[in-house]
Every structure is written in C-alpha cells, then in structure tokens.
Structure 1
Amino acid sequence: MRTTRKIAVVTSALAATAVAAAPAAASAQAAPAFVAYHNVSAAQSAEKVRRLKAQGYRPITVNVSDGERYAAVWVKGGSAQWGIWQGMSTAGYQKRFEAALKEGAQPVSVSATGPAGSAVFTAVFEKKTGKIYARHGLTGGQFAAANTYAAGMGLALTSVDAYGTPDDVRYVAVWSTNPGGAWHYTYGKGREQHEAEFYARQKKGFRPVKVAVAPDGTYAAVWRKDGLKSWAHYIDMSAAGYQARFGQLQAKGLYPVQVNAEDGKYAAVWE
C-alpha cells in the first residue's frame, strides 16, 4: 500500500453518562500491551501511527470526528499484514477499498465524519480471507436493507459508524465472517432508547461490541452473545469523561476495544 496525498499510511507486508457496565471480574485476564488516544489532530495522528508501528503495535479500532479529530486503540503484536489510512474522501476510500481487495486485504475498522458530500474517512485494512460486504453513504433505510442482505450471506456486522448531518445521517459499515455467537444490530436509538435496549439485550445474554454516535445524537450498535464476563460499555461521555472512565477501567484490568465519537460525545466498549 502506497502513500497518497492527504492520506497518512502505515504499511506492513501488504505492498459521561453510563448506559451500563458489566462489573469487571476479579480474575479478569490481563490486558495486552496497548496504547489509546483520542481528540488528536490529523498531524498528531499521523505521527502516532509512525511511532506505534515502529514499536510493534497495530490498530484495532479507529475513529474520525468533529472536523478531523482522531481516536484509536492499538495493541502490541498480532497480524503483521495491515495498513491504516486517514484523511480520505469518499472517492478516496472507495479507491482504497478496491485496491485492498486486489491485495487480499479487507477493512476491519472504518469511520467517517462530515456531510455526505464532503465526508472524511479513516480505515484499517488487514490481509485476510473470507467473504466480505461493505457499503458507505447509506441512509437508515439503506443500512437496514444492506444488513438484511449481508445477514442472508451468513455475514455479521463487524464495523459501523454514522456520519453526515443531523437531518441527513449516513452509515458506513462492513459485514464479514461471523467471529462467533448470535448477534443483532440497532440504529437510530436515542440515549434512553439505547439504554433500554441495553438492559433488554443484557437479560438475554447479549452485550454491545460496537457502538457509533450519529450526528443527530442517536446511536447504532452491534449486540453479541459471546459469553464474555468482564466488559464495560459507556456512552454520552465528553472527551474528559472518556479519559476519566479509561483510567478507572484500566485499574480493573479492562482496556478499550472500540471507541467512537461525534459532536464531542464519546462512546466506547472495554474488555
């Protein structure tokens, strides 16, 4: 993968209102070596990418919001065949997606911000096999229809973000091989609706594994029944609130596996 103008890229072998939290178990597994940051500029993000790659880390979740401010979580080790891009236009993301597929890579985390006609994308691609279905620029109805189509192919929603404007919310999503467990998705839920959904799903053994904040203040989420006992999920956090929650949960042995923001509101999932 080559560097393109306005796109920071790292290559490898590829050329606070809490909705709820599950208490961390005393015997929670030790978190892997990880680095997380949020609310950094494009230039700061590019510098972190260069430094973290050199130190042997790889990104597991990325987010862009609020006039191209970046957030991400990196873990040490794992696949060496990945690439990360930022500052892409809609056309740029489509071009990168098509090139990645030819190289045997798939998007594993995609985020976008800004109006549909001038959105900015960031994405992580990894070299992997299996079926994949990815769409962007979707309205709510189109997102629902795409999910039905992908589920019919036996795929699961593995990455989702909302962008656009309050009166024109759009979705970018990736469906890929199901990592395991029954799953559901929701979108267009206000804070109280999302909270009610959380408790209803939790009673049935489901937990949120992906969450996205939309420009109109609603939430999209992926719920999975995977039996994990130690995890946490919070929404409606400020940047400072997210940082404070980060510290509290790290002390309990949990680390963020997905972070998302829009209009200064953060949501995240810890494991």
Structure 2
Amino acid sequence: MNPAWQARHGLPLAQYQTEFDTLVRQGFRLLDVNGYSINGADHYATVWEQSPGPPWEAHHGLTSDEHTRLFQTLPAQGFRPVSVSGYDRSGRPRFASLWQKTPGPAFEARHGMTADQYQAAIDDCTARGFRPVDLSCYSDGGQVRFAAVWDQSPVPAWAARHGMTTAEYQAEFTRLAAQGYVLLRVTGYEVSGSTRYAAIWVKGRVVTWQARHGLSSTEYQSAFNDLLRRGYRLTKINGHTAGGRTSYAGIWHKPYLSDDDETFIRQTVTTFMSGHGIPGASVALADSGRLVFARGYGVVDPATGAPVTTGHVFRIASVSKPITAVAVFRLIEQGRLRLNDRVFGANGILGTTYATPPYSTNIDQITVQNLLEHTSGWAGSQDPMFRHLDLSQHQLIDWMLGRDTTGAFNAPLSHTPGTTIEYLNFGYCLLGRVIERITGLPYEAAVRRLVLEPCGIIDMHVAGDTLADRRGNEVVYTPQGTPGPYGIRVSRMDAHGGWLASPTDLLRFLTRVDGFPEKPDILSAGSLTTMYTPTTARTPSGDPSGYAKGWATNAAGNHWHDGDLPGTASILVRTSGHQGWAVVVNSRDDTRLDTMRKDLDDVMWSVVQHITDWPAHDLF
C-alpha cells in the first residue's frame, strides 16, 4: 500500500505545535523536522507518514544544554537520532530533533562545531569507521556552527562537503550525481549575508530521486506540486535565511507510481483491450534490472468475471522462441553443441532418425544456426505446424522429410540453406528435438534445467491443448475466429510457441540475458553478442530482415519477439535504455491481426514515453 503522508513548511512555533498534535492524533509519524529562523522567530518544516513504526520522540526549541541532555538520556533508552536541526533564535542557537527507538549501528553526535572542528570530526570519525548520516548548519552569536551525526552503517562510498557557494554546490551536485551518488542531506546557511551549502552524498543506494535548492516559498510549493504529480514524496526539507531572504532545499524520492501514472497505464492498456475485444491482459516492466511495475487488467474469463492478477499465466506463442534460443546457447557454452553443427544426415545431430533417407537436396546442409535464424531453406508457406494436427511431432518431421505416394518429396527446400530468411515455426520445432537429443531429456525438462532454474523461474510450463488441460492459474482464451484456441496442438508447438508464462517470469528471463550489468546474465557477453547479431541472409525480396537468433533486432539496439495464436497474443521487449517489458492477452483480434500486432507493440512504448522516471524498488 501507498501510505498517506503530509508535508508542511513555513510554520510558526504555535502553528507547528497545533499541526503536530493534530497529525499525531490521526496516526501520523514524523519522518523529518527542520527548524529555521525568519526575522528572529522559530519556523518549522516537517514531513509525516501515516504508517506503523517504532516508537519515536520529537523535540524542538531546545537550548544547547537541553539538546546535550537529550543525548545523555535518550540513547540509554534505546533511541537514536534520525534528524537534528540547529537554528537561530535572536542570535542564540536552538535545536529540534527527531528520535526513533530502533536498533542500529553505533553512532556519535556532535554540535556547536566550527567549520574547522567539523572537518576535524569528519577526519576522526572516518578513521574510526564512522560516516556522516545527518548534518545541520546554524548561527550562534553570528558565528557558523555545525551539528552532525555519524554511524557505522556500511555504504560503498560517501562524500561530505561544506562551505560551498550556490555555484560550487551545483557543480558538486552534478559531478557526484553523474558518478551514481545520491544526495542524503543538504543544509543551507548564512555567511556574511550570502548562502553557503553543506551536504552529504552516499553511493550504492537504489532510489529514484530529485533535489531542488535555492527556492523561495512560492517556488518550493510549485516544485513540490509538480513532483507530487509525478509520484515523488518529500523525504528531507531544509529552510534557511540569508541576506534577509528565506529559501528552501528539498530531497524527494519516488517510492511508488503516482495516481496519474497508474491512470495513464490503465487507460492505455484498457483502450487497447477494448479496441480489439480482449477480456484480460497482464503487463510487467523492468527498469535497470528491477521489476518496477506489474499489473493485471480485465478478466480471466468473461463467463466468471474473475480478475486477472500478476500470478496468472498465459500462452505466450512465439515469445517461446527466445527461450529455446537461449537454451541452445547454453548448450553451446557447455561445449555440447556448435552453431555450424549439421542437423540431419549421417553426421547430423538428429542423423537419420526421421523419415527414410535419402532426403531431398540440401536437407543435410541445414545447421543449428540456420534453424535459429529461419534460414533453413524451407519457405514460410511450407510451415506445417498449424496443419496435419493429427500427427505427433515425430510424425510431422517424418512427413516434412518424407515422400508422398508418388515418390515425390513432401517438402523440398525452396532455398539453399543460409541464403534466404523466411519465418518458419517448424525450424524451432526441430531445435526442440536437437535439445532433447543433446541433453537426453524431454524438451521442457531440459529448458527448465538450462534456462528457467538459473533465472529463478518455477512457474513456466508447456501448455496443454484443451480447456480441460488448463492449469489452475491459467487464463481462459476467448476465440474471435476459427480455429478456436482449443482446436490447435499447442503442446506440439513446445519449442516455437508452446510455453505458458506470466509477464513477471518473462522479465525474470529477460533480465538475465539482456547484456546489462544490473543482474548477472546466464550467457557470456560473447554468446549474447552472437545471439543478437542479425542474420546476413536476405528476405525473398532481397531486403535485410533484422532477425537474429531467436530475437528481432533493430539499429537502435532493441531486441524483442512477439507472438500470437488463436485466443492469445504476447510481446517481450528489451530496449537499449535498460528497460524491458512483457504484455500478454487472452484473445486475438483475428479480423484485424496486423493492426492488433502493431497496437500491442505500441502499448508500452506509449507508457515509457509518458512516464520517464520509475520507482527504484524491485518487485522480483
């Protein structure tokens, strides 16, 4: 759930106390407090969340001595400081602080430090394994003072800076952000009537964030509203006055999609569904190796009205081909198979198991690479996978290699292998048999061992043919033409179009073969490069195709595959921008199939062009 939250700024002391009491009664807990002075009077800015959590205490308006006594009493009760804010009241320092009763690493806190003393404290604490986690700058009798908290929590790297002009802070902000640092704390303060900044950055935190500084109250409110619409939540706020001007700096995180984001995705998906008569759909999106979005829309079956969830599985049709291709490359990496291995004939992997030799011309020249690239030499019009439904896989291959009653070959090659690309499901059916021959396992079991288990996938299966074969968490497929979804041999299509999967599991697979560093790939970089390199063969009309080995590709560096069968359609996309998505649906618009395929491809492209920042959580 997305817990309710509140943020306030510019609150005078009495109003702050009233707001504090009201929000506490409503079940909110304080997440950040910042005290600052406007015309010598206390003002406060706060962030609240309505959620359960450890016991907490907040204090404000404390003198330096009172502040010191808190650190002498609260830690002994199990409390640790979350936020410490020093500020000026008519030339004398005051403090506000937030504490939580929660276990954690050892910490130290100091206040009243000059700039030199603060730098010395950083050096001393760093040498003893502590890092700064909170920071505040304030005035004491016109002199700048620092308050800071350190703890021993590990991070890959951190940086702390102080005394920066606005321009210096912006330059350091830009430089560190480009290196993967996240702003943890920022505080503005006055030196000789001008603003200076002190800040802490940490590296290694996975978070989608934004920060602003130097904002007037009106500018801050405008930035707050804009970021709120985009799903960001304020996590830290700092107000300070310099040269008679009060300005604000804030840090925002995006833990969830905004309501507007969710609405846009829902409307985009459901518009596609209604335009093509689709009862149910499931969508998932990954960003930088993290699953950031997964939703079901519509119904499993119009007869029952049960809603689609992210746990439902769908027939994924030809999105099965990339899975088969990866299994082949796993065997290649194990030294059990080569791309140029022949498939048929005396020296072929499948030998003369099927039909009766001699085979037609060049059959014995077909290689594993030809099957992966759809360059076996058979024409697409010869594809038998949706015909001869009474034949088993073995019988179907026998027929393709065999002769009719007159002695003529049933399916002689139309092209020399490797020269012409024509999309052929049958080629991947043969790859399934190659995998079985090499591993000694049924295709499904072999792929589970070679691909699915290393990707952490446990709920993908080869589909059954009939409604009675439907799995417990499988959707029902709604026909929009003939043949219907339960009148085809899906189980016979195992290696080219037979798998069942959820979009989430498809992305578990995709993020382990995408060539990006966020998650370790199950194939080497060299294998991935080979797999994603388009064939040099041309289409029958002489055009390049862009098809690689189990994947379609383009010059932008995107890889994908789509697929459809009566009653279902799917698409799996990996972009050069480190994103990936999967969409599956439980019907197919047979009367407008080309339009539906284009619209299915457009669905998530529309979404990612509209939503440019995604939460940094990982739903895997």
What is the TM-score of this pair, normalised by structure 1?
0.84
Q: Which of 58, 61, 77 is matched with 2:51 structurally? A: 77
Indicate conservation of the 8 Å contact 1:90/1:118, yes or no. Answer: no
Question: Residue in 2 aligned with 1:203?
Answer: 178
Distance 2:76 2:206 in 1: 35
**Equivalent residues in 2 for 1:1-271 (5 A)?**
32-66=3-37, 67-114=41-88, 118-129=92-103, 130-164=105-139, 168-178=143-153, 180-216=155-191, 217-263=195-241, 264-271=246-253
Deviates more, 1:135-144 or 1:172-181: 172-181
Distance 1:153 1:203 in 2: 29
Is the partner of 2:72 in helix, strand or coil? helix
CA 1:53–1:180 in 2, change beyond 3 Å: closer, same or farther?
farther
Question: Which structure has the greater CA radius of gyration?
Answer: 2
User: Residues 180-203 of structure 1, C-alpha deviation per residue, up to 9 Å, x if partnerless?
Assistant: 442111001000000110111122
Indicate conservation of the 8 Å contact 1:165/1:215, yes or no. Answer: no
Question: Residue in 2 aligned with 1:21?
Answer: none
Question: Residue in 2 aligned with 1:5?
Answer: none
Distance 2:154 2:228 in 1: 25
CA 1:31–1:266 in 2, change beyond 3 Å: closer, same or farther?
farther
5+ residue gaps in structure 1?
1-29
Per-residue deviation, 1:166: 9.6
Is the partner of 1:202 in helix, strand or coil? helix
* Matched AA of 1:40: L
Deviates more, 1:113-122 or 1:185-194: 113-122
Indicate conservation of the 8 Å contact 2:93/2:140, yes or no. Answer: no
Distance 1:138 1:117 in 2: 16
5+ residue gaps in structure 2?
254-620
Is the partner of 2:66 in helix, strand or coil? helix
Question: Residue in 2 aligned with 1:13?
Answer: none
Q: RMSD between aligned alpha carbons?
A: 1.9
| Segments of 4+ moved more than 6 angstroms | none
Per-residue deviation, 1:53: 1.6
Distance 1:179 1:51 in 2: 37
Indicate conservation of the 8 Å contact 2:54/2:102, yes or no. Answer: no
* Matched AA of 2:108: Y
What is the TM-score of this pair, normalised by structure 2?
0.38
* Matched AA of 1:239: S
Distance 2:236 2:2 in 1: 14
* Matched AA of 1:231: W
Query: What is the aligned-residue identity percentage?
Result: 28
CA 1:116–1:186 in 2, change beyond 3 Å: closer, same or farther?
farther
The count of corresponding residues between Structure 1 and Structure 2 is 242
CA 1:80–1:150 in 2, change beyond 3 Å: closer, same or farther?
same
* Matched AA of 1:270: W
Is the partner of 1:218 in helix, strand or coil? strand
Indicate conservation of the 8 Å contact 2:29/2:51, yes or no. Answer: yes
Question: Residue in 2 aligned with 1:14?
Answer: none
Indicate conservation of the 8 Å contact 1:259/1:269, yes or no. Answer: yes
Distance 1:154 1:117 in 2: 35
* Matched AA of 1:218: R
CA 1:254–1:31 in 2, change beyond 3 Å: closer, same or farther?
farther
User: Residues 12-34 of structure 1, C-alpha deviation per residue, up to 9 Å, x if partnerless?
Assistant: xxxxxxxxxxxxxxxxxx86421
Distance 1:259 1:202 in 2: 19
Is the partner of 2:231 in helix, strand or coil? coil
Per-residue deviation, 1:149: 1.8
Is the partner of 1:119 in helix, strand or coil? strand
The higher-RCO structure (CA 8 Å, 6+ apart) is 1
Per-residue deviation, 1:226: 2.6
Per-residue deviation, 1:167: 5.7
Is the partner of 1:253 in helix, strand or coil? coil
As a proportion of its length, which structure holds more helix?
A: 2
Is the partner of 1:215 in helix, strand or coil? strand
Distance 1:242 1:251 in 2: 14
As a proportion of its length, which structure holds more strand?
A: 1
Per-residue deviation, 1:165: 6.1
Indicate conservation of the 8 Å contact 1:183/1:225, yes or no. Answer: yes
Indicate conservation of the 8 Å contact 1:31/1:254, yes or no. Answer: no
* Matched AA of 1:247: N
* Matched AA of 1:268: G
Distance 1:186 1:78 in 2: 34
